[in-house]
Amino acid sequence: MKFKFFNKFTDKFDSFLNEFEIVDLKMFALKVSGNHLTSFFEMNDKNSFAFEVQENTITFTDKSKKTTKIDDEKFEHLPNLLGHIREALLFKIENAKEMIHKHPHIEAPKEGELKGEEWIRVSTTILKESLNKVEADPNLMLEGNIFIGQMGPEDIFTIRLQCYNLDFTYSFLANGALNVAIYDDKNYDRGHAKEAAYMGEFYNNRPQILDQIFQVIFEILKNGQFKIFA
């Protein structure tokens, strides 16, 4: 399936995008901070490209690292770009679900798994409440960083979500287990916490654990200025 961002753009974009296949998407990253959005795509062949949106300007960085700025004052291209960012994210979310389906045998969750699920549920509920307040209060700024796909030297499939003070990492292990680490920077800068506030491994309730993080991601992308999941 061809993956195109714009029906009509420039010859440079058309030539590049005609070669792009969504099935070759290895890792997708998205950063949203107020009216500033950055998306990054890494392919299986190690080539990468990125889009940055700020105010009325879209900046495209191609696989040769050359940048092109486009004035999008009339918002002719932004809706299409956001639509395809949504498509890329949904594609990687399906990849994550497939990782669980590879190891389908599930029993009743163990006590530790249930306690961990509750810890994550409480944390993500607080985040979702904070994200929903953005729509009601223009003085609040929505912030969220999302990484999903194969990462690191061992290409471990990972979901990482940074939202306000919390930093979640979901690592899909070779034995089918889902390792979760959550850092809480509280009122400090990102990365202040050196030890995880929570760390656990899940198997029997992996779908529920995965759903918790997806709910926060959808809240990030349906609120704020860009409303990728409006």
pTM check: above 0.85: yes
Is the pLDDT at 151 greater than 60? The verdict is yes
Domain ranges of the chain: 11-98, 102-222
pLDDT of residue 102: 93
Q: Classify 132 as helix, strand or coil.
A: helix
Q: Report the topology of domain 11-98.
A: Arylsulfatase, C-terminal domain (3.30.1120)
Q: In whole angstroms, what is the distance from residue 164 CA to residue 158 CA?
A: 20
Residue 206, CA distances (Å) to 176, 179, 200 in order: 9, 10, 12
pLDDT of residue 108: 96
Question: Tens digits of per-residue pLDDT, 189-202?
Answer: 666 678 989 999 99
Predicted confidence band at 15 (pLDDT cuts at 50, 70, 90)?
Answer: low
pLDDT of residue 80: 79
Contact 31, 38 (CB under 8 A): yes
Mean pLDDT of the chain: 87
Cβ count near 55 (within 10 Å): 9
Q: In whole angstroms, what is the distance from residue 53 CA to residue 56 CA?
A: 7
Q: In whole angstroms, what is the distance from residue 185 CA to residue 195 CA?
A: 10
What's the chain's length in residues? 230
pLDDT of residue 45: 85
H helix or E strand, kind and range, residue 90: helix 78-101
